[in-house]
Amino acid sequence: MTSPITTERHGDILVIISNSPPVNALGAAVRQGLEAGVKQGLADPAVKAMVIRCDGKTWFAGADITEFGKPPVGPDLRAVIDMIEASDKPVVAAIHGTALGGGCEVALGCHYRIADPMAVIGTPEVKLGLLPGAGGTQRIPRIATVALALQMTAIGDPVPVAKAHAEGLIDRIAAPSALATDAIAFATEIADARPLPRCSEQDAKADPEAIEAFKAANAKRFRGFEAPAANIACVEAATRLSFSEGMTFERTEFMKLMMGTQSAAQRHLFFAERQAAKIDGIAPDIALRPIKKVGVIGAGTMGGGISMNFLSVGIPVTIVEMQQEALDRGVGVIRKNYEGSAARGRLKPEQVEAAMAALTPSLNLADLADCDLVIEAVYENMEVKKELFAKLDGIVKQGAILASNTSYLNVDEIAAATSRPDVVLGMHFFSPANVMKLLEVVRGAKTADDVLATVMALAKKIKKVAVVAGVCPGFIGNRMLSPRQIEANKLLMEGATPEQIDRVHVAFGMPMGPFQMSDLAGIDIGWHRDPTRIDSIRDALCAEGRWGQKKQAGFYDYDDKRNPTPSPRVAEIIEDFRSRSNMAKREITDQEIVERTLYTMVNEGALILEEKMAQRASDIDVTWIFGYGWPVYRGGPMFWADTEGLKKVVEGLEKHGFKVAQLLKDKAASGGRLN
């Protein structure tokens, strides 16, 4: 097998080049090639200095994550980096693209770093439930500040080169698209400079205040995660241990995380997110339809948020409303949202104006005639939608895609209202649509392959994580939400309290429990509006005007800062309802709540897979992570069920008399996994 590493001589400079698409991951072949390249440079007396650079879209984007959990193949990355650093000939790292994880650590093992102006450098391992395990936690605080080391390791966001240069991580910034030549010039310039600057020989200045301040500032963000604390501990260790002691400390912490379930969950999600974009049975290079102009019908909360996704990436949007007042209000909210982002420094004023300039408000559906994609976000009513799609069928140019933002209606029935069901599908955004990353792309029975592929590719362009869902009530996410809500309400009748059930879900890692979520969304959504008809606890709450946070009263009472407190009135309502329904109150354990509200979701997920309403179990995980706040470190409902043990899940379901999906029973019986 040819090595992905080649070398070139430029005078007395040896350039070691990696070309291992797609991201020059530091797999075994790359490590072996790097080691051989540096040894070649060391052995050749004519070589005075070396440059390491990568071809393709990026410098090494980290260790090869696909190797994790497999038997290690030498050389170890730490050994390669130590060899580079120990070299008695200067080694220059020439960085472009994303120098991440092990890639950042290789760069820090080099004596000098030069970077393309657009490059970024970072250690995102914490997002995989890990830490930089090849010396990053020991070298970064030795050449930059502890504060930066904490940001880079425990939060994991990449650092733009300009900042990295200012902080001393990067020695020089190359001229645009002149990295290769500038790196050779830099190497020539420092070829005789001695002593060679080695990160490991620097001292990391202690900064206990920075560490305490960092911990306090990020406590909420790190809740439930194991890796951030381990990253912080390693950086702190760098300020008091020798380099080799620090490396030992780092290794111990790294292996603890690597063997843990959280990192396994987060690594599962890394690949699940990328897998979700792939459509089984459709060639990855299928020709896509051009989407140069988008139409959005409805300028309410959803329509406005949906429009922003396209405006923010430079795709012009025509937004249509029935009434001028509603149109003005919708456009006003879009501008306010953009100005809010600018005020928080996330956008420049000229970007706000550019986005608003690309927005065309209209009261006329005919203005959508030349759109390539039209998305309706109108009132959730089948007749209204069918009538609208029939109109669009007569207006919008042939070849355009017609999408519905319905969150549970039958997309095939909507498509049947047109003469071109092959270009109709669902694009189910989540509120706030300009923020939430998940997009359920609902594939109709007649949706054409290139239409589906076009929308999936477009989703990546508007920075969404798209998942293909089949046509069934509630698609993937909402369909799994409903058994949870049903069981949560039943548990109330049997003796649990809203705060007990929510506490179990929050302790599990959810941002909030079923009842806090109902209060946030509004308990009155879908309510029959007849205060005399009390068929459920929800009816009783709505009849009393307890519609949720917006009324400062729902399943909880709320203060003016929207902090929830358990409500004695709700306890009375539940007690009253129980006695009127002749139901005896009993002790409910937290485990029973888990079994009846979470195992039932897994069971519904298995039914979705059986019915092929989702392509794969990992898509269900991606749906719940990016759309419903399922804790990242549990990998999603299906991955969690595998971790929990499918036998235990099946027993838990059967114990409560649930009909268990055959797929789940079969996997449990065969010792299989859902993922």
Which residues are the active-site residues? 105, 125
Q: Which is nearer to ligand T1G, 125 or 182 (CB)?
A: 125
- 331, 307 Cβ separation under 8 angstroms: no
Q: Which is nearer to ligand T1G, 58 or 318 (CB)?
A: 58
Q: Which is nearer to ligand T1G, 124 or 228 (CB)?
A: 124
Element (H, E) at 296: strand 294-297
Confirm or reject binding of residue 631 to ligand T1G (CB under 6 A).
Answer: no
Task: Report which DSSP code applies to 546.
Answer: -
Of these, 13, 25, 173, 400, which contacts ligand T1G (CB under 6 A)?
Answer: 25
Site for ligand T1G in 254-283 (CB under 6 A): 271, 274
Q: Which is nearer to ligand T1G, 72 or 672 (CB)?
A: 72
Q: Which is nearer to ligand T1G, 63 or 204 (CB)?
A: 63
Q: Which two tokens stand for residue 268?
A: 């599962």
Q: Which two tokens stand for residue 641?
A: 């069920």
- 553, 545 Cβ separation under 8 angstroms: yes
Confirm or reject binding of residue 619 to ligand T1G (CB under 6 A).
Answer: no
Confirm or reject binding of residue 65 to ligand T1G (CB under 6 A).
Answer: yes
C-alpha distances in Å from residue 105, one per residue of 74, 89, 100, 153, 195: 17, 19, 8, 12, 21
Longest Cα–Cα distance of the chain, Å, equals 94
- The phi and psi torsions of 572 (rounded to 5 degrees) equal -65, -45
Site for ligand T1G in 111-170 (CB under 6 A): 124-125, 128, 130, 132-134, 136
Over its C-alpha atoms, the chain yields an Rg (Å, rounded) of 28
Helix axes of 477-494 and 617-628: crossing angle, nearest 10 degrees: 70
C-alpha distances in Å from residue 658, one per residue of 487, 533, 595: 11, 30, 10
Q: Which is nearer to ligand T1G, 139 or 667 (CB)?
A: 139
- Least separation, in Å, of the C-beta of 157 and ligand T1G? 11
Q: Which two tokens stand for residue 76?
A: 């170890």
Of these, 13, 16, 30, 63, which contacts ligand T1G (CB under 6 A)?
Answer: 63
Q: Where are the beta strands (DSSP E) in 49-146?
A: 49-54, 91-95, 98-100, 112-115, 120-122
Confirm or reject binding of residue 64 to ligand T1G (CB under 6 A).
Answer: yes
Confirm or reject binding of residue 235 to ligand T1G (CB under 6 A).
Answer: no
Nearest CA to 307 among 368, 386, 395? 368
Confirm or reject binding of residue 632 to ligand T1G (CB under 6 A).
Answer: no
Of these, 2, 22, 176, 559, which contacts ligand T1G (CB under 6 A)?
Answer: 22
Q: Interface with ligand T1G by CB under 6 A: which range of 63-71, 214-222, 305-313, 553-561?
A: 63-71
- Least separation, in Å, of the C-beta of 474 and ligand T1G? 28
Site for ligand T1G in 512-551 (CB under 6 A): none
Confirm or reject binding of residue 196 to ligand T1G (CB under 6 A).
Answer: no
- Least separation, in Å, of the C-beta of 277 and ligand T1G? 8
Task: Report which DSSP code applies to 366.
Answer: G
* Alpha-carbon gap, residue 120 to 62, rounded angstroms: 13
For tokens 């003016």, the residue is 560
Q: Which is nearer to ligand T1G, 21 or 432 (CB)?
A: 21
- Least separation, in Å, of the C-beta of 624 and ligand T1G? 20
Confirm or reject binding of residue 23 to ligand T1G (CB under 6 A).
Answer: yes
Q: Which is nearer to ligand T1G, 102 or 426 (CB)?
A: 102
- Least separation, in Å, of the C-beta of 285 and ligand T1G? 13
Q: ∠ at Cα 546 (544, 548), nearest 5°?
A: 165
Q: ω before 483 within 30° of 0 (cis)?
A: no
Cβ neighbours for 478, distance < 8 A, ≥ 6 positions apart: 407, 408
Q: Interface with ligand T1G by CB under 6 A: which range of 45-53, 55-63, 198-206, 529-537?
A: 55-63
Cβ neighbours for 65, distance < 8 A, ≥ 6 positions apart: 25, 128, 267, 270, 271
> 96-115 mask for ligand T1G (x: CB under 6 A)?
--x-xxx--x----------
Confirm or reject binding of residue 345 to ligand T1G (CB under 6 A).
Answer: no
* Alpha-carbon gap, residue 469 to 619, rounded angstroms: 9
Site residues (CB under 6 A) for ligand T1G? 22-23, 25, 58, 61-66, 77, 98, 100-102, 105, 124-125, 128, 130, 132-134, 136, 271, 274
